[in-house]
Amino acid sequence: MEDRLFTEEDLAQIRARGMTPDDIRAQVEDIRKGFPWTELDRPCTVGDGILALDGDEIRRLSRIYEETARSGRAMKFVPASGAASRMFKLLQSVRNRPGGLHEKDLAREAEEGDEHSARLLRFFRELKNLALYDDLRESMARDGMDADGQIAEGRYDVCLEYLLGPKGMDAANLPKGLIPFHAYPDGTRRTPFEEQLVETSLTVRDGQGAARVHFTASPEHEEAIRSHLEERRPRYEGEETRLEIGLSLQMPHTDTIALDMEGRPFRGDDGRLLFRPGGHGALLENLDRLDGDLVFIKNIDNVVPDRLKDTTVDYKKALGGVLIALQEEIFRHLEDLTAGEPSGDLLDRVWTFVLTRLSLQPPPEMRKGLMREQQDFLFSRLNRPLRVCGMVRNEGEPGGGPFWVRNRDGGRSIQIVESSQVNLDSRDQEEIWSSSTHFNPVDLVCGLRDFQGRPFDLPAYRDPETGFVSTKSKGGRELRALELPGLWNGAMAEWNTVFVEVPIETFNPVKTVLDLLRDEHRIL
């Protein structure tokens, strides 16, 4: 197969990336055959897979977390590899519009019912209310251009070019974390990176004032991100806070090969194999290499200005408290299970904990096995990474959600599931998917060490059957691309999992530039 599929030059290219031919053959096979659907059993709801907290519990759990955080166990992990190109997709679509981009034309088209033109018109009319406007105005002023005047005259195409293109902000080619999101009364503007630094100091600072955060970056943006963080860090440090900032790149060996539509390796114009980033699931390697203990994970664009941070911080600490309290119980059970021959009472206590606190329904025959078999099973189920995930009430936002799923061994477990994993052509599965009450805002805290203080081997708890294949294009040619199991769904599928309801106020992502017009982000 090697001779027919790959040339000697291909094999050299594969090995230079830190991969083996067998790795790539397995990827080719995955793309060709696809992946099995995830079988939904029912949506998770409050009381059935999702825990709801009252005010007293939030305060109690926050105190538990704060005491632990002072010991230096906590840190934050922020995936920040993505470019802002998708965020500016609406504006990119009219960048080379014939005849230019003028207010009068957009207004006429909007009155005729064109939603696309209506969205564009709203953006430009409210552009001055966005934090990025000052950067746009400054970039235009360097070339003698007056942004205020151009907008007043309805000449939007000039502003658009300076916003997106290299002669101005070049925003479409920046990482999203470097786009100014928020403006403050004192005239300062903050990027998502800066807001994440502030949130880090409020949530994971230890008793010595150290607050640790780790960002991921793509190679083409590494230098710009490092420079930005070094320049801005002193603004958010002081006598009580010292920021410890880490940055890592997505590993080349986590990229995946692309195939053409006939199932053959896709080759560029130079004849070389095409490899693509394997999605955010590839960042499991970065997380694993942190050697962390209690690690909060949150997307780079889900940030708010200081006036709205209190609720976010309160629930961050509460999620941390849930994890710590659960972890202490798990560790006690593991110590009991390793103390000698198990008793029936011990097994009953541990089974009750697994069923009620970890929402795990094992295969029915497991509880009928010999005591030693039950002991081994329970130890294996408890001695693995733990995550506590915030879940928000479903109000139409895109993204995956929490579901009970049918495991291949006949049991049930709670999982974060994306729509790409589900056969929505099945009436049964579509009905379950549509009846979901909550969605995943990517707001979680993870316990990455075992009961003896040793770091888990995180890739060992990934479900490789939860990747998916998508259709993309390169140079005008279609290709089939492999996405690795996502970081918070398939990459953590074999973790112990608890879902906790959090308020919608904690979820304020910026997926498109129009999201910056929401009250949470705009200048008020």
| Domain range annotation of the chain | 89-173
**Residue 391: predicted pLDDT:** 97
Smallest CA-to-CA distance from 491 within 523, 512, 457, 461 is with 461
Strand partners, 447: 294, 386
Residue 496 to residue 451: CA distance in whole angstroms: 14
Q: What is the mean pLDDT of residues 397-424?
A: 91
Question: 275-276 and 256-257 as β-strands: parallel, antiparallel, unpaired?
Answer: antiparallel
Q: Is the predicted pLDDT of residue 3 greater than 70, yes or no?
A: no
Strand partners, 389: 444, 499
CA atoms within 13 A on the CB side of 350: 28
Smallest CA-to-CA distance from 43 within 490, 417, 427 is with 417
Q: What is the mean pLDDT of residues 223-245?
A: 96
Number of H helices, E strands in the chain: 17, 19
> Which run of H or E residues covers position 297?
strand 294-298
Residue 485 to residue 478: CA distance in whole angstroms: 22
Q: Is the predicted pLDDT of residue 143 greater than 80, yes or no?
A: yes
The answer to whether the beta carbons of residues 80 and 50 sit under 8 Å apart is no
Q: What is the mean pLDDT of residues 235-254?
A: 94
**What separation, in Å, do the N-terminal and C-terminal C-alpha atoms of the chain show?**
63
**Residue 398: predicted pLDDT:** 61
Q: Is the predicted pLDDT of residue 367 greater than 90, yes or no?
A: no
CA distances from 297 to 116, 294, 320, 387 (A): 34, 10, 11, 10
Please give the backbone phi and psi of residue 125, each rounded to the nearest 5 degrees, phi first.
-70, -25
When the pLDDT of each residue in the chain is averaged and rounded to a whole number, the result is 94
**Residue 299: predicted pLDDT:** 95
**Residue 252: predicted pLDDT:** 85
Q: Is the predicted pLDDT of residue 179 greater than 80, yes or no?
A: yes
Q: What is the mean pLDDT of residues 448-473?
A: 94
**Residue 341: predicted pLDDT:** 86
CA distances from 415 to 31, 76, 150 (A): 24, 22, 50
Share of residues in the chain with pLDDT > 70 (%): 98
Q: Is the predicted pLDDT of residue 473 greater than 60, yes or no?
A: yes
Q: What angle do CA 398, 403, 407 make, to 5 degrees?
A: 130
Smallest CA-to-CA distance from 446 within 307, 298, 335 is with 298
Question: Residue 96 — very low, low, confident or very high, per pLDDT cuts 50/70/90?
Answer: confident
Q: What angle do CA 450, 383, 407 make, to 5 degrees?
A: 140
Q: What is the mean pLDDT of residues 205-232?
A: 96
Residue 506 to residue 312: CA distance in whole angstroms: 5
**Residue 2: predicted pLDDT:** 44
Q: Is the predicted pLDDT of residue 1 greater than 70, yes or no?
A: no
Q: What is the mean pLDDT of residues 444-456?
A: 97
Give the largest CA-CA distance in the chain. 83
Q: Is the predicted pLDDT of residue 504 greater than 70, yes or no?
A: yes
Q: Is the predicted pLDDT of residue 359 greater than 50, yes or no?
A: yes
Please give the backbone phi and psi of residue 331, each rounded to the nearest 5 degrees, phi first.
-65, -40
Smallest CA-to-CA distance from 482 within 257, 234, 164 is with 257
Secondary structure E strands in 398-495: 401-406, 412-417, 438-439, 443-447, 468-474, 477-483
Residue 480 to residue 22: CA distance in whole angstroms: 19
Question: Residue 24 — very low, low, confident or very high, per pLDDT cuts 50/70/90?
Answer: very high
Report how far Cα 388 is from the mean position of its chain's Cα atoms: 14
With a CB cutoff of 8 Å and minimum separation 6, the contacts of 291 are 455
**Residue 4: predicted pLDDT:** 76
The answer to whether the beta carbons of residues 74 and 313 sit under 8 Å apart is no
> Which run of H or E residues covers position 249?
strand 242-249
Position of tokens 């564009």?
Answer: 120
Centre a 10 Å sphere on the Cβ of residue 131 and count the other Cβ atoms it contains. 21
Q: What is the mean pLDDT of residues 124-153?
A: 95
Residue 149 to residue 115: CA distance in whole angstroms: 26
**Residue 386: predicted pLDDT:** 98
**Residue 382: predicted pLDDT:** 97
With a CB cutoff of 8 Å and minimum separation 6, the contacts of 4 are none
Q: What is the mean pLDDT of residues 353-358?
A: 95
Question: Residue 523 — very low, low, confident or very high, per pLDDT cuts 50/70/90?
Answer: confident
Concatenating the DSSP letter of every residue in 256-288 gives: EE-B-TTSSBPB-TTSPBPEE---GGGGHHHHH
| More confident position, 188 or 1 | 188
CA distances from 377 to 214, 351, 369, 373, 391 (A): 35, 10, 10, 6, 29
Question: Residue 214 — very low, low, confident or very high, per pLDDT cuts 50/70/90?
Answer: very high
Strand partners, 189: 183
Question: Residue 100 — very low, low, confident or very high, per pLDDT cuts 50/70/90?
Answer: confident
For residue 494, what is the DSSP state? T
Q: What is the mean pLDDT of residues 78-91?
A: 91
Helices (H), 340-406: 344-357, 371-382
**Residue 397: predicted pLDDT:** 65
